[in-house]
Chain A
Amino acid sequence: MGRTITIDPITRLEGHGRIEIFLDDAGGVSDCYFQIPELRGFERFVVGRAIEEVPRIVTRICGVCPASHHLAGSKAVDACFGGALAPAAVKLREAYYCAHFLHSHIAHFYALAAPDFICGPDAEPGERNILGVVARVGLEIGRQVIEARATAQEIQAVLGGRKRNVCWCVPGGVSKGLTEEERAGLRPLAVSLLEFARFSRRLFKDAVLGQSRWVEAILRGPYALAIGHMGLVDADGAVAHYDGTVRIVDCEGSEIARFAPADYARILAEHVEPWTYLKFPYLRARGWRGFVEGTDSPIYGAGPLARLNVAERMATPEAEEARQELFATLGARPSGAMLAHHWARLVEMLYAAERLVALVDDPELTSPEFRVLPDRITGEGVGIVEAMRGTLIHHYTCDEQGICTGANLIVGTTHNNAPIQMVTKKVATQLIRPGVEPDAALLDRIEMAFRAFDPCYSCATHALPGAMPLVARLHQGGRVVREIRRDA
């Protein structure tokens, strides 16, 4: 009977996850499952409530990207009320979302990704956190990280009226416009974030791309998948975070689908496996065929790298330059090098900052016409935004009184559920071989595989796991025969 290695819980991830690795008698990997507990009952919770309340409730699904849920939900509600929307509100919402993207991407890069890249996977676990990063790059940069996060939050507070628990979007627009005085205050804040995004790009070039072992790991490590990619693009084919059409390409870049949000259910289907609550979305037309790679694979991924993979360009000059640099190094677009998600995140930081500066200068941003009153109820709406971790779909229905009758959500991490399973198994298979005793460093590298997706399974649950950060258990014959315990 083979052995089982369990890593539980996964450090630096929301929620608690565990990886179970089944070894055959020879010591090689026979299978690998990534399991997480899922929160339930959201649909039941919102049915029967006024539909315009739902975008204010969805911010509580998850404390990590509340604005993404608020905006996707608000777009779905706009559609439930006929879709009329004040043009200034579109720009205000997008500006808000740029700041939210920056707030989140900064935290991910410096607190979650940089410990792997800047401290290195062989650093002591106690150093592989943001403290270790600051120890290496300097206190001044640490201060800038905190300041940039505070700046991004301040921009959200000025636009949306409060720092946390956003409740700003209403059917047809937003509940608060922007004054000229507020705009004047926003401009230097937006410019400072652009400076910080430029700095982060330089840091990545120096600290990561300057090291051949990292370039090798990104390009030729076991972290690559030949699957499709999905993301929103604008009318010019550029990466879009707030609004656009959904584009899916195969692993060689051929377009498989391009569709309006309302058509998502025609294109995507969800597969259920018995060992996890989380569903596996796939391309409906291709049918579920298991976790397979290739140009005809029904599996696709989402998130920063997927967005760059599906787009023809970035809409802003410096981000476009950074995008070209990324694909020149990766060798081709699309790229299946999943560790490049971290790099793509920095390209997106630059885009969000450039776009924010442009929007802050837009004359329409201070228009007093920031809401139109809806005059009908159509009863159904789909809202899609690109959340930090991938395409976020909210689909609501309501009755003629505007009372919610149904809700379906597909979140970014769910799109990446199959790719995460696949890359985790791939890395485990390459690193755990007969005769190689698995140790904490090997397990770290397996975690790196799925951390690239920045998976998030939380819904702001503040419960303490009550367990060590990382425990690996080896089972044999139904007993635990060895335990690797990693304390920070």
Chain B
Amino acid sequence: MAAKALLVGLGNPVLGDDAIGLVLARAVVARLAASPLPAACATLDALDVEDDCSAGGLELLAVLEGRPRVVLLDAIVTGCAPPGTLHRLTAAALPPTRHLAGPHDADLATALALGRRLGLDLPPDEAIAIFAVEIEPCREFRATLTPALERALPVLAEAVMDDLLADLAATSSPRAAR
């Protein structure tokens, strides 16, 4: 059986808003499970979920390996948008030096480039969707989100779910199936 697509929540569960990737992954799964749409059920069936992932760089390669498609949910500090803003990024558009996943070893773009050069079975750039939620920098251990992120959570989960549903529709069309 072919490997399923993977939904990954990245972050630190005890570092305040840094946990948004993990919280969002769970919220998206809960929303899909509660949805009456048949497509939501099909999407859940087509997904594996890793909702507590603190891997980055080379470590993340092992998570991505063998997956045809991956959706990464993470926190981001660009300073250019209010907290709770959803940024849609692609692996292809990531500047190579940006530390998307807080790697100690290598950033995501470098790790992906290395993995492909070494012939690992990795999803192509266009099959790696990255949703990054704008947060304020976290400097204090807390097991809760800030009110701004709590308020944004339902909208964020809806947006990610809509993308997943649209993606399923696209990949199950005759053209995509080829």
Q: Which residues of A contact B (CB under 8 A)?
A: 11, 14, 37-42, 44-45, 57, 60-61, 63-64, 66, 107-108, 111-112, 126, 129-131, 134, 139, 142-143, 146, 149-150, 153, 163-165, 456, 458-466, 468-469, 487-488
8 nearest CB pairs, A to B = A488-B97, A469-B97, A63-B54, A45-B141, A41-B140, A107-B105, A463-B77, A111-B105
- Residues 34-72 of B, flagged 1 when their CB comes within 8 A of A and 0 if not, give 000000000000000000111111100110000000000
Assess whether B153 is interfacial by the CB under 8 Å rule.
no
Q: B80 to A463, Cβ gap below 8 A?
A: no
Q: B62 to A150, Cβ gap below 8 A?
A: yes
Assess whether B24 is interfacial by the CB under 8 Å rule.
no
Q: Can you list 5 residue pairs at the A/B interface with Cβ under 8 Å?
A: A60-B54, A126-B96, A131-B114, A460-B11, A464-B100
Interfacial chain B residues near A61, Cβ < 8 Å = 141
Assess whether B2 is interfacial by the CB under 8 Å rule.
no
Interfacial chain B residues near A463, Cβ < 8 Å = 18, 75-77, 102, 135, 137-138
Name 7 extra pairs, CB < 8 A, besides A40-B140, A143-B119. A63-B12, A63-B56, A63-B104, A112-B105, A131-B113, A146-B120, A487-B97
Residue of B nearest to A43 (CB): B141
Q: Kindly state the separation between the CA atoms of A42 and B15 in the bound complex, as whole angstroms.
A: 10
Interfacial chain B residues near A45, Cβ < 8 Å = 14, 141-143
Q: A464 to B99, Cβ gap below 8 A?
A: yes
Residues A107 and B75 in contact in the complex (CB < 8 Å), given A143-B119, A149-B58, A164-B53: no
Residue of A nearest to B12 (CB): A460
Q: A130 to B110, Cβ gap below 8 A?
A: yes
Residue of A nearest to B135 (CB): A463
> Which of A44, A139, A466 interacts with B117 by CB under 8 Å?
A139
Assess whether B78 is interfacial by the CB under 8 Å rule.
yes
Q: B102 to A129, Cβ gap below 8 A?
A: no
Assess whether B132 is interfacial by the CB under 8 Å rule.
yes
Assess whether B13 is interfacial by the CB under 8 Å rule.
yes
Q: B54 to A465, Cβ gap below 8 A?
A: no
For window 98-143 of chain B, which residues contact chain A by CB distance below 8 Å?
98-102, 104-106, 110, 113-115, 117-120, 132, 135, 137-143
Q: Kindly state the separation between the CA atoms of A129 and B141 in the bound complex, as whole angstroms.
A: 32
Assess whether B147 is interfacial by the CB under 8 Å rule.
no
Say which size band chain B's interface belongs to.
Answer: 35 or more
Q: Kindly state the separation between the CA atoms of A61 and B140 in the bound complex, as whole angstroms.
A: 11
Please report the number of residue pairs spanning A and B whose Cβ atoms sit closer than 8 angstroms: 145
Nearest-neighbour CB distance to chain A for B34, whole angstroms, equals 27
Nearest-neighbour CB distance to chain B for A474, whole angstroms, equals 22
Q: A165 to B54, Cβ gap below 8 A?
A: yes
Q: Kindly state the separation between the CA atoms of A54 and B138 in the bound complex, as whole angstroms.
A: 21
Residues A130 and B98 in contact in the complex (CB < 8 Å), given A142-B114, A165-B54: no
Q: B114 to A130, Cβ gap below 8 A?
A: yes
> Which of B18, B62, B100 interacts with A461 by CB under 8 Å?
B18
Q: Kindly state the separation between the CA atoms of A469 and B75 in the bound complex, as whole angstroms.
A: 19
Q: Kindly state the separation between the CA atoms of A469 and B109 in the bound complex, as whole angstroms.
A: 14
Nearest-neighbour CB distance to chain A for B131, whole angstroms, equals 13
Residue of B nearest to A129 (CB): B110
Nearest-neighbour CB distance to chain B for A150, whole angstroms, equals 6
Assess whether B10 is interfacial by the CB under 8 Å rule.
yes
> Which of A40, A139, A459, A488 interacts with B12 by CB under 8 Å?
A459
Q: Kindly state the separation between the CA atoms of A330 and B141 in the bound complex, as whole angstroms.
A: 42
Q: Kindly state the separation between the CA atoms of A464 and B75 in the bound complex, as whole angstroms.
A: 8
Q: Kindly state the separation between the CA atoms of A153 and B58 in the bound complex, as whole angstroms.
A: 12
Q: B99 to A60, Cβ gap below 8 A?
A: no
